[in-house]
Amino acid sequence: MTNQPKGTLIIIGGHEDKEGDRAILTEVARRARQDSGRIVIITVASQEPEELAKDYQKVFGELGVKQVDVLDIRERQEAYDEANIEKILGARVVFFTGGDQLRITSQIGDSDMFKCLRELYYDGGTIVGTSAGAAAMPETMLIGGAGDPSNRVSALSMAPGLAFAHNVVIDSHFAERGRMGRLLGAVVQNPRNLGIGIDEDTAIVLERDDCFWVEGSGAVYIVDGQRISYSSLSEENPEGVVSIDDVTLHVLGKGDQFDLHKRRPIRDGQVE
């Protein structure tokens, strides 16, 4: 395994279209078909794993994926089970469903299964996450906080994530649940991290850990705190609105590209 991943992350803002043009799931299916013809659906985050599994099995079957396996982890010890790990071996696409992102990290984080997933990604496989599965992709994940624009940082909760994506924090259901405030709060706590807000039925396709492009019907919002000149975060009123000066915001639509290393959109093949 090299230091630079060869794989792809497809990070979805939730509620991806399963009945219309299914653009995002079509991209996922394409990758499964061109490799082993097999995709593994991991339902660890969900409280209704059987129902979710049936939905995805149906959709990916219709999209031409020959084999759709389901892997449900209810207890951490199952992430060490050889039969469960065997399901991942040989697959080139793994899909994390929505639910509770803390279930993902607490049940499989640093387990034998996680190590297998990491090897898959670094060896050129594709890891997909929707909703909670999206939030769990970075080193630091958002796990809670009010979704209002007044940005009350005291209500913001974060935890270690799976660390497939670096130097970012990701929020899903973005416009639909009014989450700009909490993404700003996450960025102001550590401006090293870019904040990425992803609308429903929208995804970023991140290849080789440096550039991504946007797929789906909504928008992707990039909050960059690198040039913040002032914030009131460390002052005496942590319960109130946090004042922030000089935040950079980018809004991207389908087909747009972004360079994570240069922290800039890519237009006509050139970074702005």
Catalytic residue set: 131, 173, 200
Two tokens, residue 263: 């922290």
Of the candidates 204, 131, 198, 219, which has an alpha carbon nearest to the alpha carbon of residue 165?
A: 204
Of the candidates 97, 99, 201, which has an alpha carbon nearest to the alpha carbon of residue 143?
A: 99
CB distance 85 to 112 below 8 Å = yes
CB distance 135 to 170 below 8 Å = yes
CA triple 165-167-170, angle to 5 deg: 65
Give the side-chain half-sphere CA count within 13 A for 205.
18
